[in-house]
A = this chain, B = another copy of it.
């Protein structure tokens, strides 16, 4: 296959689509630390976790030994409706940058949720249906996860209750209608409908919310309703497992054309996209077969991997969820209302945190104005209007390609283009009008939230 001409878009055949997810943790020599029960601080058990999540998902959450887990046929059939996603060669961007680098992006935006989130949503809805549940509750930041779960629930005939981070709810008025079209209930968070929501509203009047708050509200609601469980779109091990379909397809497409990636880049909020994208690459890196530079890109306003502490912390603001050992800014940290709602999470999935801790991945931060500059450049030349979250990866991919221009190196750069920005036009408007600002927390600000980390 060497020297075969690389098409603009590499689509796999249905027969080449993954039949199993890959469980990155199973390949790690030093595993991520176990989740802890928020009341006892002891490692959480399957029984305890099954009160929060569907039983099968709780099992996946705790499984750090099965290397591959079969994708149920019903999920694979749904995947066929919008996958395989294309691996795109950014010929036009390369030309614009005049770089010898070869740039590829795995584009996950060609589905109505607008992002990669559907990959895990459909799996979670499937297991909920299998267990005979009535419905699920969840949180959503940018709205992509909420849309994805609404779609998945409507497909399987499940009820879906979504708590949407207030700043996104206000910035993205039409997101609610998409979810409603799929039959979901949407509540801005923090709300007055849950105990934890009322408490947060009282403590921080006028707060624009955070993923951490919304998670607590969704968990509380699920536990108060019969036949409901909670579903989460990022951070969890199960989500990284499901999202490994991104990396597996990417790797298969590259291998098909004998392409070896040098750098793999992804935006990182809770870590769902990056964790999924890098899974098969990281396995090769761990096993010493091939080397890859892997870069997590965070917003400067919410820099968990780069400026957080590697410690046990609550996954949610309300402290109702299990604790995870992760890079965290503190579960009480509420980031500035930037325009990448999907990256406003105080922590980072434990797997990526442990990999960062081991020096197997790098992390960097970018400011939102430079992110939107990169987004506009990309939109104009590659035709795709990216989500602000995704544009974090674009920014760093461009930077790396420009470094190659300086050094003359023909590196192969692969990045995850997680979604589209059609519901982010208020943010683009601010950028177009030149009134977008950057937010970088001071060390003192970070110290406040970090000082409240649980003592474990």
Contacts and interface: CB of A to CB of B under 8 A. Distances in A.
Interface of A: 7-9, 11, 13-14, 77-78, 80-82, 88, 91-92, 110-112, 114, 118, 151, 154-155, 173-174, 177-178, 180-183, 376, 379-385, 420, 422-423, 425-426, 428-429, 432
Instruction: Specify the main secondary structure of chain A where it touches its partner.
Output: helix
A423 B174 CA distance: 8
Task: Count copies of this chain in the complex.
Answer: 2
Given A81-B382, A81-B383, A183-B380, A425 B112 contact: no
Contacts of A8: 14, 77, 80-81
Of residues A77, A92, A110, A432, which shows the largest number of chain B Cβ atoms within 10 Å of its Cβ?
A110
Contacts of A81: 8-9, 88, 92, 382-383
Contacts of A426: 174, 177
Given A81-B92, A81-B382, A376 B422 contact: no
A183 B376 CA distance: 10
7 contacts: A7-B13, A92-B155, A112-B385, A177-B428, A177-B429, A182-B380, A422-B422
Contacts of A177: 425-426, 428-429, 432
A303 B130 CA distance: 47
A155 B91 CA distance: 13
Contacts of A78: 383
A28 to B, nearest CB: 34
Given A92-B81, A174-B426, A181 B383 contact: no
Contacts of A381: 155
B154 A380 contact: yes
A112 B181 contact: no
Contacts of A110: 110
A428 B176 CA distance: 11
A341 B250 CA distance: 39
A421 to B, nearest CB: 9
A40 B450 CA distance: 80
Contact of A379 (B92, B112, B382, B425): B112
Contact of A423 (B91, B92, B422): B422
Contacts of A77: 8, 91
A259 to B, nearest CB: 16
A428 B181 contact: yes
The 10 closest A-B pairs by CB, nearest first: A174-B425, A8-B80, A177-B425, A422-B422, A154-B380, A7-B14, A112-B385, A177-B429, A110-B110, A11-B11
A287 to B, nearest CB: 33
A379 B182 contact: yes
A428 B147 CA distance: 15
A299 to B, nearest CB: 20
B383 A82 contact: yes
Nearest to A15: B7
Contacts of A112: 379, 383-385, 420
Contacts of A9: 80-81
A8 B78 CA distance: 10
A40 B382 CA distance: 45
Nearest to A80: B8
A178 B425 contact: yes
A91 to B, nearest CB: 8
A432 B174 CA distance: 12
Of residues A8, A151, A376, which shows the largest number of chain B Cβ atoms within 10 Å of its Cβ?
A8
